[in-house]
Structure 1
């Protein structure tokens, strides 16, 4: 048993409490079968009480007393103004931004981050690489005689992509229920095994209809990857660490784009016709058996769950304590007992989500990020094939160049966001560059070198994604159930637009120019860049509301306010910061 993932119970935690919680959870699952249960109101009150506690004063945490008198207008652009206090900012040297220990001031914090990066950071990179490889192989296979073998014509290419996207949307919705209730080290590997099987099955497709069915299920089983990975990453990393880790995750997607072309080129060259199997079929075989299935098995052992319910074989008890202490300092509520979860059909959940302006602001934000992606349109490959006399192998090899540069773009945006604690400026910059790329390609009648430049910077369209997902994670950190429901609602809505907009904008019959596609991408990219300021406004408002939980005691003497009474009665000053008195701290 000790060699298999199991719920970690620390010595100071009473085992009998876990057994009693388990019995209550079972009863709650039974009660959830009856909408309008009399205990639903009790659960709501418990959750509201819990959310209020996240904005309370806690022992052992330094608090900054801040007078807002004379606050300058340009402070609006200080993204972390209310997200963390000056002690938190000063306790991290710039060169340690990847591995700080400013929350606990111990080596154990850095050691925890090292381990997390090796476990979930590198694993999600590997898994995203596998997923991206499976998805990118469709484009490479299309240009490696799959089109001819399956008699694909007109808009069959983009319509097949749309059908597979529907599969991801349909099977994503159940995770609203599953994510807060079941451990991620079980959910993700099970779904990945299904994804691996249907990737493998693509090799035997003998008709377009059969291929579309397999691609539908590949995307359906792959639907768990994004919500589960973001849920896990948001449960372990601080707000000024997560963009860099989502960057690792996203680099797996870029790596898939790079290696897919190179592997497809090599496979086509060496295996085309071997044992009577076409080269493009060999690629699906290799992906499914040699890459995807091992990734699923590894995931069962390395995904640690969440700090409050850790299943890791590799983290020590002290490191789990450090993770929980970090979450307490960073106002991250990573999990909740099943007994406190509302039924998914409860009106409370849906009213709270749909009647919150932030939800709609983030929906628009994510929708723009999905539909500005010239990088994944396949337009570069179409141009290489149409305007150049290149062989299949050369097209596949050259096709990886934009993705290779994409690594640089993504690292600059994601690492810069954490280094400077400023996501918005890198998001605006990336979208400005994408607008330049789209503008050149819309004009089209430009020099060959200008087109090369425009195609090579297309990955700026996706470079802001780690920052986007970090923003969403931070907005939703206070309520685990709402985080699961809202994350998937946002992702499902925006992805659903990606299922039909490309069929109108990127019609295969318009290749290689795709004027409509670049125009649509330019519009979404411009809105994306401008909408970043709207998101920043709501983010600042959200963090100001929860400033006390972030270690900041606010007042404005300009409006006649003075420091809250509890500062004098319950807190003591040590140096420049205030701490809860020990007697009061013991009561917490």
Structure 2
């Protein structure tokens, strides 16, 4: 699922530098607005009245109302994803719609067609990120969660990487076939990849731990999966409610996470624009312009796996500081700018190490708030919502396409956001770590569940006891099977 979603999401930049810009007569900040449209849906009658010259000048004038696609989609769709009976089917349904809309992008003839389709893609992809992490946090313990989150984020980077390879292959081998340009074939191939994965999701996607049992679980396996987490999964199946909202907004964890995520997405926005630098400042072929940035995504994939593997074995604040240092150093180089091209390549590639930030951050949320599934869902969805509230307008001022590749107003703020991202989460890990060692009232012993929903030593001890019990059950089952045979 993360592979095909990020494949569909990233292809717009690869297509833009591979002929789409010329075929659609795009220019100015249109690439910015394609990304804005992914997070903002606008009414059709408004689109028809957009003044193209004003778009090129950077003025976003809309006569009708606007519906924030990915932003508005976060809370209601994540709320649906938190419902056990809906959880196994929501994301596969959304993915089928992504596939259809991806096919539609191959048929666009006007820039405004693409604005509409990207807005719809943004809305229907809204629950995928937070919803998947909600599901991961529902099934796995802390020590298991980091590695699974790392694999999930590897899928993100691999999807972005393959977008470059597919565009290079389509541009070289499929341009003109059946009357379609190479960039249109990229969307067609992406849709072909996405659609069967969507249908497979209905059969295998498990939903939440308290969702109905999937066909591939035996009753014993399903009971074991639920019992081993019975002390840290909360109770009930009501999902996110008004009471949940009132409770969670009073907790420091909520505000720390939201502020961190806002800084995170702004700090790393520039990493996807390597193709613009290559096209503007080098004489490389279209194929190489699409292929060279993929090495950054390869580093990101390896970093996601390595970071989450180490997260359970080394100091988490130390690992967080390491990835932040890679991002900060790369941004210092990009702020200097007048450096050899080799150092710019190094900066774009070296910042890939900071890809471990997201899996560490979301796994930290899941493990810290795992006693409160509904609150965890609300925190994750609010992070996405408030983050994208800034994502849809801040880059218009910091990274307007007309300033590519120098981005004089983009790299300095990114450096500030990167430092703030590190500081906020470092403080949050320290603060929540302290909450786990004391009760709701200062000086009282820790209870099984603190007021912040953090994991306490008592919860960890019961987890170990359940693990021993589970091992005994497995051995007994194996012995019984051997006797019967």
Q: What's the TM-score, normalizing by structure 2?
A: 0.82
Contact 2:99–2:194 (Cα < 8 Å) also in 1: yes
Deviation (angstroms), 1:317: 2.2
Contact 1:236–1:307 (Cα < 8 Å) also in 2: yes
1:337 to 216, 234, 237: 237
TM-aligned CA distance change 1:286 to 1:552, over 3 Å? closer
TM-aligned CA distance change 1:316 to 1:402, over 3 Å? same
Contact 1:461–1:525 (Cα < 8 Å) also in 2: no
State the number of aligned residues.
Answer: 419
Q: Does 1:402 align with 2:264?
A: no
1:317 to 219, 226, 243: 219
Contact 1:428–1:532 (Cα < 8 Å) also in 2: no
TM-aligned CA distance change 1:539 to 1:373, over 3 Å? same
> Quick check: 444-453 or 270-279, which moved more?
444-453
Give the equivalent residue in structure 1 for 2:280.
386
Q: Does 1:135 align with 2:9?
A: yes
Any residues of structure 2 matched to 1:139-218 within 5 Å, and which? 139-166=13-40, 167-181=69-83, 182-218=85-121
| Counterpart Cα distance in 2 of 1:406 and 1:177 | 30
| Counterpart Cα distance in 1 of 2:220 and 2:340 | 61
Give deviations 1:300-326, integer Å, cap 9, x for gaps.
111112233343222222222222232
Other structure's SS at 1:243 match: helix
Other structure's SS at 1:154 match: coil
2:189 to 261, 286, 292: 286
Give unpaired runs (5+ residues) of structure 1.
1-126, 555-573, 575-588
Deviation (angstroms), 1:508: 0.7
TM-aligned CA distance change 1:237 to 1:505, over 3 Å? same
Contact 1:140–1:264 (Cα < 8 Å) also in 2: yes
TM-aligned CA distance change 1:177 to 1:400, over 3 Å? closer
Q: Does 1:528 align with 2:402?
A: no
Give the equivalent residue in structure 2 for 1:495.
388
Give the equivalent residue in structure 2 for 1:356.
251
Task: Compute the RMSD of aligned alpha carbons.
Answer: 2.0
Q: Does 1:445 align with 2:338?
A: yes
Contact 2:78–2:127 (Cα < 8 Å) also in 1: no
Give deviations 1:100-154, integer Å, cap 9, x for gaps.
xxxxxxxxxxxxxxxxxxxxxxxxxxx1110111111100000011001111111
> Quick check: 295-304 or 181-190, which moved more?
181-190
Give deviations 1:526-561, integer Å, cap 9, x for gaps.
11112222111232133224644257369xxxxxxx
Give deviations 1:261-291, integer Å, cap 9, x for gaps.
0110001111101111111111111111x11
Deviation (angstroms), 1:500: 1.4
| Counterpart Cα distance in 1 of 2:327 and 2:207 | 37
Other structure's SS at 1:332 match: coil
| Counterpart Cα distance in 2 of 1:542 and 1:193 | 43
Any residues of structure 2 matched to 1:287-306 within 5 Å, and which? 287-288=190-191, 290-306=192-208
Q: Does 1:481 align with 2:374?
A: yes
| Counterpart Cα distance in 2 of 1:131 and 1:513 | 29
Deviation (angstroms), 1:413: 1.4
| Counterpart Cα distance in 1 of 2:457 and 2:309 | 26
| Counterpart Cα distance in 2 of 1:480 and 1:413 | 25
| Counterpart Cα distance in 2 of 1:403 and 1:322 | 37
Give deviations 1:246-270, integer Å, cap 9, x for gaps.
1111111100111100110001111
Deviation (angstroms), 1:481: 2.5
Give deviations 1:165-212, integer Å, cap 9, x for gaps.
222112222124312323322111111111111111111111111001
1:307 to 206, 209, 219: 209
2:360 to 460, 467, 474: 467
Q: What's the TM-score, normalizing by structure 1?
A: 0.68
Contact 1:336–1:480 (Cα < 8 Å) also in 2: no
> Which has the larger Rg?
1
Give the equivalent residue in structure 1 for 2:319.
426
Other structure's SS at 1:516 match: coil
| Counterpart Cα distance in 1 of 2:290 and 2:79 | 41
| Counterpart Cα distance in 1 of 2:266 and 2:144 | 27
| Counterpart Cα distance in 2 of 1:193 and 1:551 | 41
| Counterpart Cα distance in 2 of 1:414 and 1:515 | 34
Give deviations 1:463-513, integer Å, cap 9, x for gaps.
211000011112332223223233212221112211112111111111111
Deviation (angstroms), 1:402: 1.0
Deviation (angstroms), 1:238: 0.7
| Counterpart Cα distance in 2 of 1:325 and 1:237 | 12
Give the equivalent residue in structure 1 for 2:397.
504
| Counterpart Cα distance in 2 of 1:337 and 1:469 | 22
Higher relative contact order (CA 8 A, sep 6+): 1
Give the equivalent residue in structure 2 for 1:84.
none
Contact 1:195–1:219 (Cα < 8 Å) also in 2: no
